[in-house]
Structures are given as C-alpha cells and as structure tokens.
Amino acid sequence: MIKFIISFLFFSQAALATVVLIDPGHGGDETGAVGKLNKSRMIYEKDLSLRLASRIKKHLEKDANVFLTRSHDRTVTLQERADMADKLKADLFISVHFNSSTDPKAHGFETYYLDNNNDAAVRKVEKLENVNPKGDEAVVQQILIDLTIQQTVKTSKALAASVHKRLHGHMKPTHMSDRGVRAGLFYVLALSKRPGLLLEAGFISNPSELKIIQQEEFMERYAQGVAAGIRDYIKN
Ligand SMILES: [Zn+2]
C-alpha cells in the first residue's frame, strides 16, 4: 500500500510538472552564424547554441521536465522542432541562438517573444533565424501566426520579463550590454504554438564578444540566469 501511495505521489507530481522544451538553434548542415576566434579557429552558432541549451537543461531539471529538440549536431527543420513541442505537450518553448551583424561592433544579448514588430534591426534578426535547413524560408500562414500570438503573447511576455530580469543580474560581471526584451516574428515560435522565447545570447560577428561567449564562464552564467528566470516564472 505504501509503495502504491509513493508511486502515486511520484507519478502525479511528474504529471503536474511543467514541460520545457529547449531548442538549440540550427544544427547539422545549417551552421547558423559563423565567426572567427583567431586566424584558424572557426566558431559556429550551432555548436554554441547546443552548449548553452544543454546547460540550461541541466540547471532547470530539478524544477521541470526538460527536453532538447536536438542533443547532438544534426539537421532539424523548424517544423520538426515544433512537432516535438506537440508530441511532448510542452508548456514552454525556449529557442537558443547567437546573433550576427554586418556591423562588427554590434554587441549584447536580447530576449525575444513572439509578436509583431516593425523595427528594422529586429527584421534583420528575424531574417537570420527564420531560414529553414531545407533551403526555403519557412512558409507560415499569417493566420497561424496571428492565432499563436493571440494565444501566447501574454504568457510569453511575462516569461520574457522574468528571464531577462535574471539575465540582467547574472550577466553584469561580464560587462556585456543588455539590449532588452523585444518582440519579433520567429517562425519556430509561431509553429510551436506555445508560449516561449527566442534568446539571442551575444554576437558571434563581434570578435571581442565572441571571445567572451565561447567561454565556459559565460555559458554557465547565462544558463543559470535563464534557468532562474524560468523557475521564477513557473513558481509564481
Ligand atoms: Zn540562430
């Protein structure tokens, strides 16, 4: 009987736990942004996003059921990522990226949630992140985007505020600049149909920022900040 009660408690708790799907951007054939650390060492966004996403998962595991859309270097379409959110019945979807710009001085981290935005700088980031590995840009019907925004924007905005607040504190010692919370149209968020975020954790295209963001210390700080922010959100 005791065994029954214990297993009942265990399973009911597991069933109630928040399911968080963390999505390391790009992968496989699709490298994402590319930077040069020194003359010979190339750094790919797909590798940094996997490192950071895995760490966020590690720090969040005590508080939620956490999954990754990919756990190694493989090609995954935006639709496949969204399908995983459906299959796992994910409550939250967190896509992890690093930024790139033609301006080598562009720097800092920013937190996006799904909503309309006409800002030209945001448009550039959307263009970079909305490319599908199959070669064509994801075609998402406006009606689906509008519906997802309607259903998720309130939660996503609150989650973004919670995560970014923690990030701001955790990243202070790195002196990286805080570019704030922004709205953007990211297909992977629209397709997932879940409240969620797209994190741009720093600029690969900026040589001095690249030195910081590929370090273990940065990864640890950022991951702890994101995990703390999601935890705050879940518990409130
Ligand atoms: Zn990206």
Q: How far is the CA of 126 from the centre of ligand 1 (A)?
A: 9
Q: Which residues of 175-207 are buried (b: 16+ CB within 10 A; e: fewer)?
A: ebeebebbbbbbbbbbbbbbbbbbbbbbbbbbe
Q: Which DSSP helix (H) or strand (E) runs through 199?
A: strand 196-203
pLDDT tens digits along 138-153: 667 888 899 999 999 9
pLDDT tens digits along 152-191: 999 999 999 999 999 999 999 999 999 999 999 999 999 9
pLDDT of residue 14: 52
Split at pLDDT 50, 70, 90, the class of 118 is: confident
Q: Determine the CATH number of domain 22-103+141-174+186-235.
A: 3.40.630.40
Cα–Cα distance between 41 and 37 in angstroms, integer? 5
Mean pLDDT (the chain) is: 92
pLDDT tens digits along 33-85: 999 988 889 999 999 999 999 999 999 999 999 999 999 999 999 999 999 99
Cα–Cα distance between 185 and 112 in angstroms, integer? 9
Q: How far is the CA of 4 from the centre of ligand 1 (A)?
A: 46
Structure tokens at 226: 């994101």
pLDDT of residue 132: 80
Q: How far is the CA of 43 from the centre of ligand 1 (A)?
A: 13
